Amino acid sequence: MAMQIFESAKSLWSVILQQFRWDSHTPQRTLDEIEVLLSVFLAILIAHHYNAEHIGWAAFSGYMVLRSHIADTCIRGVLRILGTIVGALLACWIELFISKTLWLNSLVLAFFAAFSLYFAMTTRYGYAWLFFGLTFVMVIIDGLVYPFADISQFAKTRSIEVIAGTVACMLVSLFFTYIIRPKFSLMVNRSGLAEIIKFEGYRKRTLIHTAQAALAIAIVPFLIHFFPVDLLIQTSITILAVLMIPLPSLNNKKLISMRNLYRLFGCLLGATLAFILLPISDLNYICAVLSIGLGVVIGRHIENSGQAFAYIGTQFSLVYIVVMVPDKLSLLSMENGWMRLAGIVFGIILIELTRLVFVPLQYLLTHEK
């Protein structure tokens, strides 16, 4: 078993390295990497201007929202902002009526995690539903860990970070769509909102899938006395992000395990590079900017591979940005990276453990006549 995992990791590393051959650097791919680089740095500047608390999250929004056409960027950005704000507001409102009792918060988290994931998978506005669930869970968990703190402050700064990153993406995308790309004859057709491909019995399968997410999330509140808040928040993000899969993929039993593997592998690579470059970034602002830029381009290049392992690039960039983009240069530390990595590992463990609970149900569903 250990040898198989080693061989799989070795093979994966080999195909990733092939993506950095000279012939893989197409004009379209290179231009997209420059575009996302500018978007990330603009997001950092905007977030600093509005005194956001977690600059790295703004930077990652500046990374994730960007698409090749301004229309697609705006659609994705609006959905991300709406989902984040509604999730934050609802969490703050619900916290006024429920106590800090762990079991009650566990039930609330489980319900809204399953609710948001179901609609994220079955509607065209899935991106908004996903961030509704992510933000709701983050705010509730933060309120549990810090019961006497103002929960609205966390919700507010989270919204500012997402808006900063999204606005940066929109501005950069607008510039590239109408000024830069036409000069290189690299116009991109807008894709718009994707249609959801549904199949017979999809509701039943989706409900079982989201019930797994609910069970995994429900466990998190009972761990607040044993783990720091950043780890638990990352654990919850991992659960929802990994289980957010295209609807037809519910028929692929191996997909979630593969996404777990890709997520872990990408985060390990991102943390390793951050660990290597962190001493250099700590020298001055120029070195910090160059180090951030290098990691962003590497992650985006892997993501633009068009291969099944492209998800590795996204996870590489996320952990790299979280580590290398501190609120202040003096706060550069690998602690953020290790905390995120630990949260991801813990989230993956919870996903795999809760999958065991649903094995009998999945078996019956697969073999029903």
Q: What is the pLDDT of residue 154?
A: 78
> Which residue in the block uniquely carries the two structure tokens 């990595």?
341
Residues 6+ apart with CB under 8 A from 113: 133, 136, 137, 210, 213, 214, 217, 236, 239, 240
pLDDT digits (tens, 9 = 90+) for 43-75: 999 988 888 777 888 898 999 998 888 888 999
Mean pLDDT over each residue of the chain, to the nearest integer: 83
Q: What is the pLDDT of residues 194-248, one digit of tens each?
A: 777 777 878 888 898 899 999 999 999 888 888 888 888 889 988 998 888 888 8
4 burial type by CB count under 10 A (0-12 exposed, 13-18 middle, 19+ buried): exposed
Give the type of residue at 52: A
Q: Mean pLDDT, to the nearest integer, of 118-134? A: 92
Q: What confidence score (pLDDT) does residue 369 get?
A: 44
pLDDT digit string (tens) for 13-35?
777 878 788 777 778 888 889 99
| pLDDT score, position 286 | 84
In the numeric block, which tokens belong to residue 174?
Answer: 């607008």
Q: Which has the higher per-residue pLDDT, 65 or 98?
A: 65
Q: What is the dihedral angle through the alpha carbons of 213, 61, 182, 189, rounded to the nearest 10 degrees?
A: 20
Who has greater pLDDT, 3 or 332? 332
What is the percentage of the chain residues whose pLDDT exceeds 70?
A: 88
| Virtual torsion, Cα 228, 229, 233, 238, nearest 10 deg | 0
Q: What is the pLDDT of residues 282-325, one digit of tens each?
A: 667 788 889 889 999 999 999 888 787 888 999 899 888 888 88
Find which of 115-119, 261-265, 337-341 is predicted with most confidence, using mean pLDDT: 115-119
CA 191 and chain centroid, separation: 21
Predicted model pTM: 0.86
Q: Using one digit for the tens of pLDDT, what is the confidence trace for 31-51?
A: 889 999 999 999 999 988 888
Whether the Cβ atoms of residue 263 and residue 315 lie closer than 8 Å to each other: yes
Confidence at residue 86, expressed as pLDDT on a 0 to 100 scale: 93
- Pick the closest to residue 316 from 117, 79, 19 (CA basis): 19
Exposure on the CB side of residue 242, measured as CA atoms within 13 A = 34
pLDDT exceeds 90 at position 90: yes
Question: Are 322 and 56 spatial neighbours (Cβ–Cβ below 8 Å)?
Answer: yes
Q: How far apart (Å, rounded) are the C-alpha atoms in residues 257 and 250?
A: 12
Tell which residue, 48, 291, 53, 31, has the closest CA to residue 153: 53
- Does residue 2 register a pLDDT over 50? no
Residue 9 has pLDDT above 70, yes or no: no
Give me the DSSP letters along 59-98. HHHHHHS--SSHHHHHHHHHHHHHHHHHHHHHHHHHTTTS
